[in-house]
Chains A and B, each alone.
Chain A
């Protein structure tokens, strides 16, 4: 298992940081979505963090797209979230085996 992190600066000037712990099977085991953006309601971010556990990348992206549907993100976009997830995931699975925990 290893951590992957992505940092995205949105066009609105906000920061989105995603940390994913991905196991050797490519499954997300831990997830933190953080930054100085806004979400209405705030519960959206928590919901995404929870629902991503147990997902591979494709499912994670699909779940995220579905959850953001009824919420209003301010300072970041859905695309920022999806790009951030992709990058964090790839950072987690794409590193050299020597960095495996």
Chain B
């Protein structure tokens, strides 16, 4: 069985996004191995998709008033509330040929890690193309992927106990989008593991389930490891970009 590196850590929003990008760049240059990273964003923050406009995708007044960090991802997709005490973010950085050339299939393959992790809690979840995992039609996880020539980065959420009221305060979706889902607010189309199983799972329990889920989905052995000095240095350099208003408000 192939062996992938496993990194478990936590950090500020800007650093977390910078590290994902650093890992992608270094994987592209073959300087690091295929990696699964599981992390918490502390304090809680908001990211928007590469193509989104700030004013359409988040409630900027609320975010500013509550001093919630905000940045733009290098991946497409929608806006995300990363709850530091109720959500684990994952990132997969790997060679495209090890996950799948076909984009949609690779989304599914990686998202299966979430589906399998939920199964450990006795929850039946399904992958909903393009990039969601749902339980009874409600979203519990969303993912986004970008690709370079050889390497891909897919990162996404696992909402085990996200404060959904806070989430719906932070995020904004166009009316047209909500209507297509047949519900009236963001709050009604998302759920958490805690809401489903009626108890709040512990962080270590969640991390264990995610490790098993991804290991199974990717068919790899995950070996706990450390970031390289080069990754840390590159991430430090990239932080400035994620803090830059030019980047965040480019649209």
| Residues in chain A within 8 A of chain B (CB atoms) | 7-9, 12-15, 17, 32-42, 45, 72, 74-75
Q: Chain B interface secondary structure, helix, strand, loop or mixed? A: loop
| Residues in chain B within 8 A of chain A (CB atoms) | 49-53, 56-57, 74-79, 103-104, 129-131, 144-147, 173-174, 176-177, 179-181, 251
| Complex A-B: 15 CB contacts under 8 Å | A7-B176, A9-B177, A9-B179, A12-B130, A13-B177, A15-B174, A32-B251, A34-B56, A36-B177, A38-B131, A42-B76, A45-B51, A74-B76, A74-B104, A75-B76
A-chain residues with CB within 8 Å of residue B51 when the two chains form the complex? 33-37, 39, 42, 45
B-chain residues with CB within 8 Å of residue A36 when the two chains form the complex? 49, 51-52, 57, 76-79, 177
Q: Chain A interface secondary structure, helix, strand, loop or mixed? A: strand
B-chain residues with CB within 8 Å of residue A9 when the two chains form the complex? 176-177, 179-180
Contact of B147 among A7, A33, A41 (CB under 8 A): A41
User: Shortest distance in angstroms between A16's beta carbon and chain B's nearest beta carbon?
Assistant: 9
B-chain residues with CB within 8 Å of residue A8 when the two chains form the complex? 176
Most buried by A among B57, B75, B79: B57
Rounded to whole angstroms, the CA-CA distance of A38 and B77 in the bound complex is 6
- By beta carbon, the residue of chain A nearest B49 is A36
- By beta carbon, the residue of chain A nearest B128 is A13
